[in-house]
């Protein structure tokens, strides 16, 4: 291990949208950077090599001096946006890639086909994901000239939860309700945690197949904007539109997403939302579609929050995940009588997940050191 007086350096990485790195020294943030600051490719995803070197340079250390690198996901992200990415190339055979692209449409048209593709996905992940994960760790270690044992993988939504909880200006001694909600990450689109005495307990998770975030992203694409990037335009369009004559659209959209207890539910998988919208909403006024979608998002999110507060009887909230970039929905949550205190992670999307990963890693090393009497 290390001497007691030697600083502990933990680096967290995000390779999803807004890829970047965050570096902690003895649990304190000393540097944080996004990869697109160096490449000038906005919201770039992929391995944040420039951000890593920047963080280490600011801290005045070499990469080999890092005690731990924490990846903010379990499953490797298939991002290959620059030649600098060290992630695995897409070696999927051409015929299988064609099948993969066509499968969602066939699933939507023929319900029985979902069984075929779901079985195929399970078999594929069981066979290839473990070796993909190991290979990616080796590739990253080789790129950084680092011991692979210094690299660990963490659940995507747990990293969101750590970001939300530990980014608060003042840590409360009271139990905290931590809620995460995004498009998808490691098979999950939303999660509910109770944090008490620094211990995280997951109460509920919503599958990525019933995603509120992907619902709004699909609306964004349907309206001609760029999903996962221009959702704010949908929110602005809804703000400028009077809420009238949209009950028909509300009824159509309510089949895509609703709340049951602590989970979001959907009549069809999230990957089919685009087909449903094109089939049911074609030709309708885009302003009213945006207004209806915003209403669905606000109502779903506030219902979910109220259910969580009611069940846990915890009134202090910490929130993270890309859905909480929707400021109008956040205002609705803040006005709930059952919410006494609310903190939203700074830039709550994946961009801040490097921080959550680093916070987790530091606590892990401290716990190990304490157990060994260090």
Residue 9 belongs to domain with CATH number: 3.30.420.40
pLDDT of 88 reads: 41
Phi first, then psi, for residue 283 (nearest 5°) are 90, -5
Residues 81, 110 within the same domain: yes
Residues 163, 247 within the same domain: no
Which contiguous run of DSSP H or E holds residue 153? Answer: strand 151-153
pLDDT of 135 reads: 84
Phi first, then psi, for residue 27 (nearest 5°) are 85, 0
pLDDT of 96 reads: 54
pLDDT of 85 reads: 37
Residues 90, 3 within the same domain: yes
State the Cα–Cα distance between residues 322 and 325, nearest whole angstrom: 6
Taking each continuous run of H as one helix and of E as one strand, the counts in the chain are 12, 12
Residues 191, 319 within the same domain: yes
pLDDT of 82 reads: 34
pLDDT of 86 reads: 41
Closest among 250, 263, 328 to 296, alpha carbons compared:
250
pLDDT along the chain (374 residues), means of 10: 73 94 97 95 90 98 97 71 39 54 58 60 68 85 93 97 94 93 95 96 96 97 94 90 78 95 94 91 92 96 98 98 97 97 95 97 88 62
Number of domains in the chain: 2
Residues 26, 99 within the same domain: yes
Residues 152, 48 within the same domain: yes
Residue in the block written with tokens 């209806």? 292
Residues 149, 71 within the same domain: yes
State the Cα–Cα distance between residues 213 and 215, nearest whole angstrom: 5
Residues 21, 136 within the same domain: yes
pLDDT of 116 reads: 58
Burial (CB count within 10 angstroms: exposed 0-12, middle 13-18, buried 19+), residue 64: exposed
Closest among 343, 261, 344 to 310, alpha carbons compared:
261
Residues 140, 271 within the same domain: no
Query: Greatest CA separation found in the chain?
Result: 68
State the Cα–Cα distance between residues 62 and 55, nearest whole angstrom: 10
Q: What range does the domain containing 316 cover?
A: 171-344
**What are 69's two structure tokens?**
């690198």
Beta carbons within 10 angstroms of residue 82's beta carbon: 16
- pLDDT tens sequence across 36-90: 999 999 888 889 999 999 999 999 999 999 999 999 999 875 543 233 334 444 5
Closest among 96, 79, 89, 88 to 39, alpha carbons compared:
79
Beta carbons within 10 angstroms of residue 117's beta carbon: 17
Closest among 361, 354, 364, 29 to 160, alpha carbons compared:
354
Residues 175, 240 within the same domain: yes
Residues 68, 91 within the same domain: yes
Which contiguous run of DSSP H or E holds residue 316? Answer: strand 316-320
Residues 106, 192 within the same domain: no
Size of the chain in residues: 374
State the Cα–Cα distance between residues 14 and 356, nearest whole angstrom: 10
State the Cα–Cα distance between residues 194 and 11, nearest whole angstrom: 25
């Amino acid at each position: 291990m290390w001497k007691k007086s030697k600083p502990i350096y933990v680096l967290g990485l995000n390779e999803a949208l807004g890829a970047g790195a965050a570096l902690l020294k003895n649990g304190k943030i000393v540097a944080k950077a996004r990869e697109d600051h160096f490449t000038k490719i906005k919201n770039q995803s992929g391995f944040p090599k420039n951000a890593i070197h920047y963080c280490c340079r600011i801290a005045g250390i070499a990469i080999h001096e890092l005690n731990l690198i924490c990846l903010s996901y379990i499953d490797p992200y298939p991002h290959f946006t620059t030649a600098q990415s060290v992630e695995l190339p897409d070696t999927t055979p051409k015929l299988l890639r064609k099948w993969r692209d066509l499968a969602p449409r066939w699933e939507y048209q023929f319900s029985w086909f979902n069984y075929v593709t779901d079985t195929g996905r399970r078999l594929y992940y069981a066979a290839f994901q473990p070796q993909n994960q190991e290979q990616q760790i080796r590739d990253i270690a080789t790129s950084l000239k680092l011991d692979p044992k210094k690299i660990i993988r963490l659940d995507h939504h747990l990293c969101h939860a750590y970001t939300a909880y530990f980014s608060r200006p003042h840590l409360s001694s009271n139990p905290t309700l931590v809620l995460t909600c995004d498009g998808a990450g490691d098979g999950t689109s939303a999660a509910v945690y109770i944090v008490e005495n620094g211990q995280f307990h997951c109460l509920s998770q919503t599958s990525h197949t019933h995603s509120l975030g992907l619902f709004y992203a699909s609306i964004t694409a349907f309206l001609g904007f760029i999903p996962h990037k221009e959702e704010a335009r949908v929110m602005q369009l809804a703000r400028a539109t009077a809420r009238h004559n949209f009950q028909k659209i509300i009824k159509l959209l309510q089949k895509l997403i609703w709340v049951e207890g602590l989970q979001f539910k959907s009549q069809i998988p999230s990957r089919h939302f685009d087909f449903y919208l094109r089939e049911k909403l074609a030709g309708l006024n885009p302003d009213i579609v945006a207004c209806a979608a915003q209403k669905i998002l606000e109502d779903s999110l506030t219902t979910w929050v109220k259910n969580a507060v009611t069940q846990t009887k915890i009134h202090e909230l910490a929130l993270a995940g890309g859905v909480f970039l929707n400021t109008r929905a956040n205002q609705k949550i803040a006005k709930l009588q059952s919410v006494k205190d609310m903190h939203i992670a700074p830039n709550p999307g994946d961009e801040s997940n490097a921080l959550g990963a680093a916070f987790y890693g530091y606590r892990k090393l401290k716990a190990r050191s304490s157990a060994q009497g260090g």
